[in-house]
Amino acid sequence: MSQPPPGSKPNGASQLLTLLAQSGDKWIQFGVLVLVGVSGLGNWAATWNSSDRNKQEIEVSRRVAWESNERIRQEVIKQVADIHEWMQEATDEFHKGNKDSATNRQTLDEFKSELAGFEKRQMAVLSNQTSIMNSQTAILEKLHGFVKERQEELHKNEQ
């Protein structure tokens, strides 16, 4: 008997097929040939069926992956739009703040100018009041001097 081919199962099926194939009877050889052909045909059909199923599974996987990628793509587009809108609002708020700052600065400059004018007018009024007070003080001193003189004269006349 010959050795089984490498990688064959040790159950003896390969040895039996080898023995039948080497048989001298043509019908046995034809039967073995038919069995090998049917087995090959079964293997071919199983491979073809498996290939079809694999193609279908791959197609389904591709479709699911595409749908998943499309959902992710749509979400990214939405998030980018949201970020763009937020940035636009922040930019608008920043520019509005700059306009408000400019308006506030203008108002403060006007107030500073008006305050300087008010201070100048008040200083002029105070200067005038100081002059009036100095004049009144001089008049009062002279009046006081006159009254004191008259008092001394009256006092001398009484004695």
Average pLDDT rounded to a whole number, residues 103-130: 89
Judged against a pLDDT cut of 50, whether residue 152 lies above it is answered with yes
Residue 41 lies in a domain: yes
Residue 22 lies in a domain: no
Distance CA 16, CA 22 (A): 10
Burial class of residue 83, CB neighbours in 10 A (0-12, 13-18, 19+): exposed
What pLDDT band is residue 3 in, cutting at 50, 70 and 90? low
Average pLDDT rounded to a whole number, residues 66-93: 89
Residue 17 lies in a domain: no
Residue 12 lies in a domain: no
Distances (CA, A) of 113 to 116, 117, 119, 121, 135: 5, 6, 10, 12, 33
Q: What pLDDT score was predicted for residue 79? A: 92
Answer whether 29's CB lies under 8 Å from 47's CB: no
How many separate domains does the chain show? Answer: 1
Average pLDDT rounded to a whole number, residues 39-50: 83
Q: How many CA atoms lie within 13 A of 108 on its CB side?
A: 6
Q: Average pLDDT of the chain? A: 83
Residue 28 lies in a domain: no
Q: Which domain holds residue 95?
A: 35-158
Residue 26 lies in a domain: no
Residue 3 lies in a domain: no
Q: What pLDDT score was predicted for residue 1? A: 44
Residue 40 lies in a domain: yes
Q: What pLDDT score was predicted for residue 81? A: 92
